[in-house]
Structure 1
Amino acid sequence: MKKFLKILLIVVFVALLGFSGKYLIDSNSKSPIVFTTEKAFKTSIEEKTVATGKVIPEDEVEIKPQVSGIIEKIYVEEGAPIKTGDLIAKVKVVPNEQSLNSARGRVKNADISLANAQQDFDRNKALFDKGVISTQDFQNVQLRFDQAKQEVNNARNDLQIIRQGSTGGAKAITNIRASVSGTVLEIPVEEGDQVIQSNNFNDGTTVATIADLGRMIFEGKVDEAEVNKLKIDMPLKVSLGAIRDKEFDAKLKFIAPKGSEEQGAVQFKIEGEVFLDDSYFIRAGYSANASIVLDTKNDVLAIKEALLQFDRETEKPYVEIQTGDQEFERRDVEIGLSDGINVEIVSGVTEEDDIKVWSKTEPVKKEEENKD
């Protein structure tokens, strides 16, 4: 009997020990996080892209001198309005020694040819007056004489242009005038600077830059993944870094046919016509962002994008649907448009489903020490 009781006590002890162990294991395996849920909802979603760039004048003209020389006087300031024909600066001509020497030699050669033609003309005129030569022969001699006089005139004019910049005045000074109306954006030269004329082999020195600030465009770049979604005349919303809480309407007018690689990504240049507000003064070169709506869907079923999870192997999206108290099952979903906050659900979820907010973290336990 004692032996039976002893065995019974051992069995009871082992059973209690097993139940206690199972309880402790179940308690420890239970997650301390209480997951909440959210439901799908109907909303409108716009897929947008943002192009970073700047606003610049639609037409910007560089004024360059027609002669080389030194800036003697500047008559305008940066930021000043200007009209076509207004005087910008005066250039004191400094002739090129090689060109000057060549022009002087041409004048001497023309004078020698004229002297020879003069003698030939005088001799033949005397013969013509005596009736020795025909009228045709005399006219040919007279033609050569007149051409020699014209060559002398041309050579002397060329020499004066090289010396003075023009044939009109006695002073070696030429005027630089505005070819368009607008605002003077920049004057990159100062009085006393040497300038080079514009020709077939040289762009020349820019004396002033003029633009119409009433006609501005947005110039930016978009990624190759989005350029095929753009179309000419698409509306833009342009925001400027210098003007807060204001968006300007714009219209896409140009998409570059060729991209350029920047930091490993291919970017395409775009331009948009900006519709200005007269109450704001827009300066050339303001940094700007253009928001472009690529696609829009209204009254579609959506969830917060943060509720989505992605399979590590297939990278396909899925969510977890609540089936009981803190019990969830995986459900694959098909998604559509996304605006970065909400994402369209094409299939896999209904408005009645409770979707797990999986991104919750465990609470941090703090140990408090009691001090006497």
Structure 2
Amino acid sequence: MKKILKWVGLGVLILGALWAAVFFMKSNSKSAIEYDTHKPFTASIEKKTVATGKVIPEDEIEIKPQISGIIQKIYLEEGVKVNAGDLIAVIKVVPNEQTLNQAQGRVRNAELALNNSKIEYDRNKILYDKGVVSNQDFIALKLAYEQAEQELTNSRNDYQIIRKGSFGGSSSANTNIRATVNGTILEIPVEEGDQVIQSNNFNDGTTIASIADLGNMIFEGQVDEGEVGKLAVGMPLEISLGAIEDKTFEAKLKFIAPKGVEEAGAVQFKIEGDVVVEDDFLIRAGYSANASLILEKKDSIMVISESLLQFDKTTNKPYVEVATGEQQFERRDIEIGISDGVNVEIVSGLEENDEVKQWNKTEPIKKGVEDEEEGEESEE
């Protein structure tokens, strides 16, 4: 009996050892990582691009003098709203000495010519009254006399314009610098006492002030050559300004440059868009801005997160792994469409009920290994 019990006990030990070995092998054969899965879902995707630039007035007018001189008085400041005709500054004329001397000589010659014409006119009038001089000759002498008077008047006026900038104290004198349009003064780059040069065929002249309507603004920016072909005049823009947080402004694309400019090895194309300015916000000229443009949009399409995608190293084609059982997956090649950087369109290869493996899992650190590493660090 004792012998039988001994063999029974030995058999139980052997069976227990075998069961423990099998259990241990099965436990080690399971993956230490449990992967999450996600199903495709329906959403809308917008493919956007962002153009960097600035917001500027559509029309900015530079006020330049019609005569050279020195700024005598500036009456307005930057930021002031003006109407066409408002006086901005006054120029004190400093005439060229040679030009002034020539004008004086012209006046003197005109006086001499007038005196001579008057003598001839007076003498021939007496003869005309006596019937000695014909009517035709007298009319010619009278015309010459009147022309001499007009020439003297013109020469005197020219002399006054050269010396003072105007004659007769006219309110529209060249020395008065006035606004030519309604708007806001953006800049007055001169100061009292500065010398200014008139605008002519050979010189742009000195800018006295620049004026613009801040209620009529445009976005001016640049886009890359790879995206400019997807743009079209009339597309909506969404403008965000660095100076105004948590606020966007609507705009409409109105211009795409026909010629690009190479910058840092990339060809950039200039674009412009009309910005809708709201009365509650003051947009200053030159604010830096970003314009968001919708290049492509699809509504109610099947999508998955881009983090679920993998790409074949040989063909570079996308694929995913789909669950076939508990923590068991098979490879599935798919065709993708547009992407917004977060979600990607699934054109074919997946169904709505498929469970797609999430790849962004890492091997967990075992507690024993963790304690061992901490011990080594403390010993050091």
Moved more, 229-238 or 203-212: 229-238
Match for residue 293 of structure 1?
294
The alignment partner of 2:286 has SS state of coil
The code of the aligned residue for 1:164 comes to K
Match for residue 8 of structure 1?
none
Where do 5+ consecutive residues of structure 1 fail to align? 1-22
Cα 1:46/1:146, change in 2 over 3 Å: same
For residues 100 and 152 of structure 1, the distance between their equivalents in structure 2, rounded to whole angstroms, comes to 16
Q: How does 1:143-154 map to 2 (within 5 A)?
A: 143-154=143-154
The code of the aligned residue for 2:164 comes to Q
The alignment partner of 1:278 has SS state of coil
1:139 Cα shift?
Answer: 2.0
* 2:95 equivalent to 1:89: no
Encode CA deviations 1:195-237: one digit per residue, 9 max, x unaligned.
1112222221111222222222222222222223222332222
Encode CA deviations 1:92-135: one digit per residue, 9 max, x unaligned.
11112343233233334433443444454445445544444432
Aligned length: 347
Match for residue 196 of structure 1?
197
Encode CA deviations 1:212-268: one digit per residue, 9 max, x unaligned.
222222222222222232223322221111111111222222222222222222222
Match for residue 181 of structure 1?
182
Cα 1:277/1:173, change in 2 over 3 Å: closer
Q: How does 1:114-193 map to 2 (within 5 A)?
A: 114-122=114-122, 124-169=124-169, 174-193=175-194
The code of the aligned residue for 1:64 comes to K
For residues 332 and 230 of structure 1, the distance between their equivalents in structure 2, rounded to whole angstroms, comes to 32
Cα 1:130/1:209, change in 2 over 3 Å: same
Encode CA deviations 1:165-199: one digit per residue, 9 max, x unaligned.
111239x9922122222222211111111111122
Encode CA deviations 1:133-154: one digit per residue, 9 max, x unaligned.
4322332232223222222221
Q: How does 1:1-372 map to 2 (within 5 A)?
A: 34-122=34-122, 124-169=124-169, 174-323=175-324, 328-362=329-363, 366=370, 367-369=373-375
The alignment partner of 2:45 has SS state of strand
For residues 191 and 216 of structure 1, the distance between their equivalents in structure 2, rounded to whole angstroms, comes to 31
Normalising by structure 2, what TM-score? 0.80
**Identical-residue share of aligned pairs (%):** 66
Contact 1:220 1:270 in 2 (8 A): yes
Cα 1:335/1:97, change in 2 over 3 Å: farther
For residues 41 and 187 of structure 2, the distance between their equivalents in structure 1, rounded to whole angstroms, comes to 55
Encode CA deviations 1:18-62: one digit per residue, 9 max, x unaligned.
xxxxx99xx89x986554433322111111121211222222222
Encode CA deviations 1:285-341: one digit per residue, 9 max, x unaligned.
211112122222111011112333334454433333345665554443322221111
Match for residue 12 of structure 2?
none
Cα 1:113/1:310, change in 2 over 3 Å: farther
Contact 1:160 1:166 in 2 (8 A): yes
Cα 1:324/1:159, change in 2 over 3 Å: same
For residues 232 and 334 of structure 1, the distance between their equivalents in structure 2, rounded to whole angstroms, comes to 32
The alignment partner of 2:290 has SS state of strand
Cα RMSD after superposing both structures: 3.0
For residues 258 and 48 of structure 1, the distance between their equivalents in structure 2, rounded to whole angstroms, comes to 23
Moved more, 194-203 or 116-125: 116-125
For residues 123 and 89 of structure 2, the distance between their equivalents in structure 1, rounded to whole angstroms, comes to 53
Cα 1:44/1:145, change in 2 over 3 Å: same
The code of the aligned residue for 1:345 comes to I
Contact 2:62 2:210 in 1 (8 A): yes
The alignment partner of 2:374 has SS state of coil
Contact 1:253 1:273 in 2 (8 A): yes
The alignment partner of 1:369 has SS state of helix
Contact 1:186 1:209 in 2 (8 A): yes
Cα 1:361/1:263, change in 2 over 3 Å: farther
Contact 2:55 2:286 in 1 (8 A): yes
Match for residue 6 of structure 2?
none
Cα 1:319/1:144, change in 2 over 3 Å: farther
Match for residue 15 of structure 2?
none
For residues 137 and 188 of structure 2, the distance between their equivalents in structure 1, rounded to whole angstroms, comes to 61
The alignment partner of 1:43 has SS state of strand
Contact 1:92 1:173 in 2 (8 A): no
Contact 2:66 2:174 in 1 (8 A): no
The code of the aligned residue for 1:106 comes to R
Normalising by structure 1, what TM-score? 0.82
Contact 2:67 2:174 in 1 (8 A): no
The code of the aligned residue for 1:187 comes to I
Match for residue 5 of structure 1?
none
The alignment partner of 1:65 has SS state of coil
Contact 1:37 1:354 in 2 (8 A): yes
Moved more, 107-116 or 232-241: 107-116
Cα 1:342/1:173, change in 2 over 3 Å: closer
Where do 5+ consecutive residues of structure 2 fail to align? 1-23
Cα 1:352/1:160, change in 2 over 3 Å: same
The alignment partner of 1:54 has SS state of strand
